[in-house]
Amino acid sequence: MAHPLERDPHQLPPESFLEEVHSFAFWFDAVQGYLGDLEHGHRRETPEAVLSPLEREHLVTVLCNYCVGETAALEGAGGLIQIAPNRHAKVFLATQTVDEGRHLEVLTGRLRELGVEDPEAEIARRGSRSLQEFHRRLLELVRGRDWIAALFAQNVVLECMEFAVFALHAKRADPRTCEVLSGIVKDERRHMGFGENELGRRLRDAPYARERLRAVRQELDALVLGSFEETMDAIGTPRADRTELGSHYLAAVARLGFA
């Protein structure tokens, strides 16, 4: 059998394509390409930037909020395995679960590098209330075994939010934070792709579900945008600079066809 990277999965029939791209082997070959030489999400030799006390304080607050989002993503992905309708989806979600766990690990690792001794306590103290409410609501959808709505909340709304925030932040971040975020963004693309593909097929077979997703989105968008506001308040972002983040998130969702 050819190595997964030596064969083009797009040449496969639809069922075999899904089996291939949702497999452990495919995941490993994908992440190996960009995680192979990293330790805790960044290259060992990448220097630590000199941050002013205020810059460090802002970065810690932002990273704590990322950790709230990644904890929600970790618990959400684990829970989704229970309700996934087939083996391919379960195996893909298992790879996503370990991705989310890795994100949480590298982000808490970054907090430690910045001198935070007890990241869990700091995350609880600095986490945005809107994001915590999002976390609660996501797990409620998972526990309700509502596959379409829960997958939408996790792999479209949450992943698009993280994608938009991390991609934007990476452009301006210090070198180590930039490398950590860039690795995470590559994973998020895969997760968004799975959500788009799975939901696209479901919506084609059951177009009435689109209305349900619209209602879920309306509720969750408010929490996403609220969490942006809270975090930007906490780090003192000027009003004029605030629209870019919300626009990035809304554009990411629209690109997946869920505008």
Is residue 54 near another protein by the rule CB under 8 A?
no
Nearer to another protein, 100 or 162 (CB): 100
Is residue 71 near another protein by the rule CB under 8 A?
yes
| Residue 33, token pair as written in the block | 């390409």
- 3-state secondary structure at position 42: strand
Is residue 65 near another protein by the rule CB under 8 A?
no
Nearer to another protein, 4 or 226 (CB): 4
What's the min distance (Å) between Cβ of 17 and another protein? Answer: 13
Instruction: Output the CA–CA distances (angstroms, integers) from residue 96 to 140, 163, 180, in the order listed.
Output: 19, 15, 17
Is residue 98 near another protein by the rule CB under 8 A?
yes
Torsion of CA 163, 166, 169, 171, to 10 degrees: -70
Nearest to 156 by CA among 97, 214, 90: 214
Query: In a 10 Å sphere around its CB, with 0-12 CB exposed, 13-18 middle and 19+ buried, how is residue 72 labelled?
Result: buried
Unique residue bearing structure tokens 């990277």: 5
Residue of the chain from 12, 35, 209, 235 that contacts another protein (CB under 8 A):
35
Is residue 28 near another protein by the rule CB under 8 A?
yes
Q: Stretches 33-41, 43-51, 162-170, 239-247: which one binds another protein (CB under 8 A)?
A: 33-41
Residue of the chain from 65, 95, 128, 177 that contacts another protein (CB under 8 A):
95
Alpha carbons 153 and 76: distance in angstroms, whole number: 9
- C-alpha of 258 from chain center: 17
Is residue 49 near another protein by the rule CB under 8 A?
no
Give me the 175-194 binding string for another protein, x by CB under 8 A, dash otherwise.
Answer: --------------------
Residue of the chain from 24, 200, 215, 255 that contacts another protein (CB under 8 A):
24
Unique residue bearing structure tokens 């075994």: 145
| Residue 217, token pair as written in the block | 């989105």
What's the min distance (Å) between Cβ of 233 and another protein? Answer: 26
What's the min distance (Å) between Cβ of 19 and another protein? Answer: 8
Strands (E), 14-156: none
Residue of the chain from 49, 139, 225, 250 that contacts another protein (CB under 8 A):
139
What's the min distance (Å) between Cβ of 100 and another protein? Answer: 7
Q: Name residues whose C-beta falls within 8 Å of residue 200's C-beta, 6 or more positions apart in sequence.
A: 257
- C-alpha of 227 from chain center: 15
Alpha carbons 68 and 186: distance in angstroms, whole number: 19
Residue of the chain from 56, 58, 90, 186 that contacts another protein (CB under 8 A):
90
Which residues contact another protein by CB under 8 A? 1, 15, 23-25, 28, 32, 35-36, 39-40, 71, 74-75, 78-79, 81-82, 87, 90-91, 93-95, 97-98, 100-102, 104-105, 108, 119-120, 139
